[in-house]
Amino acid sequence: MPDIVLHHYATSPFSEVIRLALGLKDISWKSVEIPNIAPKPDLTALTGGYERTPVLQIGADIYCDTAIIVDRLERAVPQPSLYPQPLGLAGRMIALWAGGPAFRPAVGHALGAVHEQIPQAFWDDRARRFGLSREAFLPALPHFEAQFAANIALLEQALDDGRRFIGGQQAGHADLALYMLVWFQSLRGQRPQEFGDVIAEWAGRVGAIGHGQREDWTAAQAIEHARAEEPLHDFAVAPNSGFHAGDIVSVSPEGPDSAAIVGTLIGLDDCTITVSREDKRAGKVHVHVPRAGQVLTAAA
């Protein structure tokens, strides 16, 4: 298998989920640091327009969004699983909660204490992509704080019966996603110990998983790596989906984010959208995104 490359930046919460997933599976990987705001021209050469973090690259196949990244890692290295029993794939539902309704309050709690130190360029970027402007953020802070406290209390209650991890004796995707909510509070100088012994001990176990075997790469190395590899080709477009293989399509995240991937549709089912595209720097790449949370339309 070609090298596994993670495009990320140090303070990205969702990147921490993937770094820990790589550690849990003891995977050797290449690290490419990307900017935390757009433009991201080197990343765009691979994704065709997707700007969120992280992005996983395996050769000339590009995986956008943590949901599809964890699926790809699970297929690449099945054991140890990100979905250990007895929780199994129900762990994904918990991870979706952590990355969905619980995420913005955690971000609000973390950024609220340091909002005056954050440059306007960051707020402009997040307003464009997520609708999180400084003007909307500040009045919502009391609500974020209250919701974050409620979510932390729920996590503590779930762990209070002595279990080592949220699903039992083994860590999984659910733990990694819940952990990012606590981990991100380091931005405001808050350590897990401040959330009480139960959460601190659990967070210590999750953090001890580590990030696997990491080697730094430049963006140029990653782009050249994509050019040198042939992307996977085993895809099909589901019948009665309203689309056909060969359609020129546009794929963009739900919400205000206008960044879109435009290319030739080669794969579509209930879980995944795959688009083939050519880039003058990266060559032919296949870009994979989850079906859930993405808007798929015919390209204008």
- Number of structural domains in the chain: 1
- What gap in Å lies between CA 201 and CA 193, rounded to an integer? 8
| pLDDT tens track for 66-106 | 999 999 999 999 999 999 999 999 999 999 999 999 999 99
Q: For residue 122, tell me if it sits in a domain.
A: yes
Looking at residue 260, its pLDDT comes to 93
- What gap in Å lies between CA 206 and CA 200, rounded to an integer? 10
Q: For residue 49, tell me if it sits in a domain.
A: no
| pLDDT tens track for 94-103 | 999 999 999 9
Looking at residue 2, its pLDDT comes to 82
Mean pLDDT of 226-232: 97
Strand, coil or helix: 40: coil
pLDDT at 179 over 90: yes
Q: Can you give the residue range of the structural domain that contains 113?
A: 90-203
CATH number of the domain to which 129 belongs: 1.20.1050.10
Whether a cis peptide bond, with omega within 30° of 0, leads into 290 is no
Q: For residue 10, tell me if it sits in a domain.
A: no
Overall pTM > 0.75: yes
Q: For residue 138, tell me if it sits in a domain.
A: yes
| pLDDT tens track for 237-294 | 999 999 999 999 999 999 888 889 999 999 999 999 999 999 999 999 999 999 999 9
Q: For residue 133, tell me if it sits in a domain.
A: yes
Q: For residue 154, tell me if it sits in a domain.
A: yes
Q: Are strands 213-216 and 261-268 parallel, antiparallel or unpaired?
A: unpaired
